Amino acid sequence: MEQRTERVEIEGAGFVARLTPGGRVGLLALHASNEGGTGELAEEVAGRCGATSLVFTQPGPRPVHITSARMAAEHCALLTDFLAHVRVTVSLHGHMRSTAPAAIFVGGGNRSAARLLASGLRVLQPEFQLVTDLAKIPAALRGLHPRNPVNLTRDAGVQLELPPAARTTGAADVPPRRVVDALAEGVRMLTPPR
């Protein structure tokens, strides 16, 4: 299947959604223009693993941040298609927590998938600290809202909140190779056998 794009407006902000169909695991980047490297990471890992990816970008110099729970399926046909096709979602986000500059927060409603994905990311330690205990993840980064798209697929999913060093290299929105490799390994663990 070929890549599809759709222009959508959410709360007055224009977005371009880009869906690359693949398997039943989906990589989602709702804030690719605000959270550099997340869109690139979603597409590269999905391509490696045969997964589905959906990336939202905003044209123009000043992207706005609309919370995940407000980017509901009714705004976008491609998001509706993604949610209907994918079994489990890995939603990629960026955080700038000065108190946790090396923390990768592993949230989302599917806690068994979160632990499995985290096992693939363990190779990133000690450079990055994996935080899987929801009580230790800041409330706004837990990815538990019932309208958050990460929780709207059949088996819900995992919300990864990545610090800048885990999603960009210097000034470029190019994810570090080490993170791409580790995330791809984690996504493979979520992929059901054929």
- 33-78 residue pLDDT tens: 999 999 999 999 999 999 999 999 998 888 999 999 998 768 799 9
Query: Locate tokens 């223009």: which residue?
Result: 33
Each residue's pLDDT tens digit, 94-122: 999 999 999 999 999 999 999 999 999 99
Give residue 74's pLDDT: 80
Asked whether 6 and 130 are in contact (CB, 8 A), the reply is no
Domain of 180, in residue numbers: 4-190
| Number of domains observed in the structure of the chain | 1
Instruction: Kindly tell me if the per-residue pLDDT of 194 is higher than 90.
Output: no
38: tokens are 């997340």
Grade residue 88 by pLDDT with cuts at 50, 70 and 90. very high
CATH number of the domain residue 56 falls in? 3.40.630.100
166: tokens are 């885990």
Each residue's pLDDT tens digit, 147-172: 999 999 999 999 999 999 999 987 77
Q: What whole-number distance in Å separates Cα of residue 65 and Cα of residue 139?
A: 17
Give residue 152's pLDDT: 96
What predicted TM-score, i.e. pTM, was given to this entire model? 0.96
Helix count and strand count (H, E) for the chain: 4, 8
Q: How many Cβ atoms sit within 10 Å of the Cβ of residue 134?
A: 17
Give residue 176's pLDDT: 94
Give residue 1's pLDDT: 61
